[in-house]
Structure 1
């Protein structure tokens, strides 16, 4: 349960359907991709944005997913091949993109900006590879206090695994300030920057199964593999208790709050 490739598979099977697919649909709806566009997903993970763009958008010319993780990209490639999707999957540092100037018309980035070591450099690079007039759409998690699922995860991990594990969840919410976000994009040279607080309601029919999978398959790695079975059970119970009324005894219906950033070159 601890190796990287199984982590990427688990990330895809547990987190993507519940969290990243609904958010991908939301940002794609807002972006309204046009026929003939070259589209980039930066920090693409296992490729959900690219797969949904291919499904929902009118005939893009080119689809590219870029990520620093070869394991995530391997899953993305495998799923694309399985569905007959043609896309480029590129291992890349967001701050040093291996693309020529002005290649893309539209760029997405879903819940990755907060993890980039050099955010200003990554945004300058993105501006370089976008065409004049090109658009971008990012989602970035808001603060822990308005994200009860992540708050419950952090508290459960803090109590049953340790502070380092809880800090890994808090890192997901490490860029919650809308003013700071706007400044990052404007300082990188983007125009018409809009930062909107958006909340989706996420669902899972079996919150207990989701809790075990989510705490063992986050962006930040497996936090439960070192626990004995009873320790995992205690952590899961703490997560469910932390959900409060968002857990109905079986499933969960929980608000998930992020900023959606749009801008153009």
Structure 2
């Protein structure tokens, strides 16, 4: 059984997230962001809204001599997994529990920052981007990825549809919120207002997969912010929900594996 398939359904939210969703979705996007905005020798690097540290681990795997590597997230549970994973791998990183709009750092202390699939959830996006701009040095670089619309992301659409049917509108809304910042011009305006320069946006589609769609359904739908909403269902009802999710995937599910496009806006800019 692969690591992707072995996560227990009763694991913590952060553990399910890291075991199931990171290898399938967040690690590939981390690689894509680093490809577009590569870290350089001596960089002081910030992983903003770092979750369980997918970007941080990808940075460390490049083997560059970074000067500082810092992860920030508002979730203590996510940071606990991130720190544990980094320690297991011998990665020297610092971890801070903080809000993106109030970073615990002085001005100009980072050369490079990454943020994946989090900007859409910041309650004050421009304020958070201004705060990021503040802690970056002059000429500091950033790379973000932000999900495109639900109609372009069949995995998310299938999850929202199945959850609305079996759990309710609130659970479906939690998935739809992932796609709430899909307009490139709105994203560009946020970065411009925050003072960033040379803002470049590109629609990028990655083809992602998991060898066992049923295992992914059970792990991922509990490894999202909908996990608590599923707890009201019996095991039989959960399985029906997961099966409906797989059916909603249509040609992205071949009866065993899932293979699907995942489409985001990728943003690079500098201060």
Please confirm whether the aligned pair reaches a TM-score higher than 0.5, indicating the same fold: yes
Q: Is the 8 A contact 2:9 2:218 kept in 1?
A: no
Secondary structure, counterpart of 2:230 in structure 1: coil
Question: Which region of structure 1 is more displaced relative to structure 2, 23-32 or 55-64?
Answer: 55-64
Secondary structure, counterpart of 2:267 in structure 1: strand
1:126-181 per-residue CA deviation (whole Å, 9 max, x = no partner) reads 00000100000000000000000000000000001100000000001110000100
| Alignment pair present for 1:10 and 2:6 | no
* Separation in structure 2 between the aligned mates of residue 205 and residue 41 of structure 1, nearest angstrom: 29
Q: State the TM-score, normalizing by the size of structure 1.
A: 0.97
The counterpart of 1:98, out of the listed 85, 101, 104, is 104
Secondary structure, counterpart of 2:91 in structure 1: coil
Partner of residue 113, structure 2: 107
Partner of residue 137, structure 1: 143
Could you list the runs of 5+ residues in structure 1 that have no partner in the other structure? Answer: none
Q: Cα offset for 1:58?
A: 1.7
Written as runs of structure 1 = structure 2, the 5 A alignment for 1:1-265 is 6-219=12-225, 221-265=227-271
Off by >4 Å, runs of 4+ in structure 1 = none
Q: Cα offset for 1:2?
A: 9.2
* Separation in structure 2 between the aligned mates of residue 242 and residue 9 of structure 1, nearest angstrom: 26
* Separation in structure 1 between the aligned mates of residue 125 and residue 53 of structure 2, nearest angstrom: 21
Residues 251 and 45 (structure 1 numbering): CA distance in 2 closer, same or farther, change over 3 Å? Answer: same
Q: Cα offset for 1:118?
A: 1.1
Residues 147 and 204 (structure 1 numbering): CA distance in 2 closer, same or farther, change over 3 Å? Answer: same
Q: Is the 8 A contact 2:153 2:263 kept in 1?
A: yes
Q: Is the 8 A contact 1:100 1:129 kept in 2?
A: yes
Q: State the TM-score, normalizing by the size of structure 2.
A: 0.95
* Separation in structure 1 between the aligned mates of residue 165 and residue 268 of structure 2, nearest angstrom: 38
Equivalenced residues, count: 264
Q: Cα offset for 1:197?
A: 0.4
Cα RMSD (Å) of the superposition? 1.3
Q: Is the 8 A contact 1:73 1:91 kept in 2?
A: yes
* Separation in structure 2 between the aligned mates of residue 124 and residue 227 of structure 1, nearest angstrom: 42
* Separation in structure 2 between the aligned mates of residue 112 and residue 180 of structure 1, nearest angstrom: 15
Q: Cα offset for 1:222?
A: 3.5
* Separation in structure 2 between the aligned mates of residue 210 and residue 136 of structure 1, nearest angstrom: 31
Q: Cα offset for 1:212?
A: 1.4
